[in-house]
């Protein structure tokens, strides 16, 4: 699932990437919806993330020193011959080459439309918050890249069922990280008129579990037919 948020200035777009990268593992954990592969439970909440990790360029984006640094790195990756073109830079957040947007692409596709709406609202608010902080000159703490990468793997492995690493790389209860995320973006959600809907959907997510959790419950309780009913929308599993 990709979410595009309009940011027509590349300098601001790169600043947004720097400011949202620490929250990408939390978004991944919330969206986790690919626990099965070839009919078997992989043990991961988002096996799609692990499969995508096989690409030469994937995972959380690095920290950039500005738009020139961003373009230089993309150019060097293409020049290396390891990837054919810029479209194969599969960072979980990047500047779109086709639209004046920041593109967040760490999310699994959702079981329900309102899950997609929740995540789109959160991503839009994250970008709006990053823009406001950049304009205000708010200091940007940067976690070590290995911590951000580890946080991403941990989110793909456990979803919301264990700890999450916060944007500074510190382990916290998953519910505490979600609370911190909502607190961080509340002004932007309020400005967009999204706070009530998004906070309600996040609360439901915490109560019912991720889509990966629901897939596993359906499979355990009703086998493959129950799982198919859940995925096609015909089932009654919460």
Could you tell me the domains of the chain?
3-160+168-208 (3.30.590.20)
Average pLDDT over residues 10-34: 98
Q: 102, exposed or middle or buried, with CB in 10 Å at 0-12, 13-18, 19+?
A: buried
Phi, psi of 72 (to 5 degrees): -60, -40
User: Is pLDDT of 22 > 70?
Assistant: yes
Cα-Cα-Cα-Cα dihedral of 15, 17, 21, 24, to 10°?
A: 140
pLDDT of residue 234: 66
Distance in angstroms (rounded) separating the CA atoms of residues 69 and 218 = 47
User: Is pLDDT of 237 > 60?
Assistant: no
The 10s digit of each residue's pLDDT in 94-111 is 999 999 999 999 999 999
- Mean pLDDT over the full length of the chain: 95
pLDDT tier at 225 (50, 70, 90 boundaries)?
very high
């Amino acid at each position: 699932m990709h979410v595009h948020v309009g940011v027509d200035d590349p300098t601001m777009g790169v600043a947004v990437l720097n400011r949202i990268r620490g929250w990408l593992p939390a978004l991944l954990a919330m969206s986790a919806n690919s626990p099965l592969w070839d009919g078997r439970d992989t043990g991961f909440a988002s096996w799609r993330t692990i499969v995508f990790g096989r690409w030469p360029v994937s995972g959380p984006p690095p920290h950039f020193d500005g738009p020139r640094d961003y373009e230089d790195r993309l150019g060097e990756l293409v020049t290396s011959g390891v990837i054919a073109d810029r479209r194969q830079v599969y960072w979980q957040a990047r500047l779109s080459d086709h639209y004046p947007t920041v593109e967040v692409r760490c999310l699994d596709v959702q079981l329900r439309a309102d899950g997609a709406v929740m995540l789109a609202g959160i991503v839009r608010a994250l970008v709006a918050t990053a823009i406001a902080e950049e304009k205000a000159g708010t200091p940007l703490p940067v976690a070590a890249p290995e911590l951000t990468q580890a946080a991403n793997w941990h989110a793909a492995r456990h979803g919301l069922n264990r700890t999450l690493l916060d944007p500074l790389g510190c382990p916290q209860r998953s519910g505490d990280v979600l609370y911190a995320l909502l607190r961080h973006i509340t002004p932007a959600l309020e400005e967009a008129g999204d706070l009530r809907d998004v906070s309600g959907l996040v609360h439901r997510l915490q109560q019912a579990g991720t889509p990966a959790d629901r897939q596993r419950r359906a499979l355990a309780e009703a086998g493959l037919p129950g799982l198919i009913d859940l995925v096609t929308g015909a089932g009654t599993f919460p």
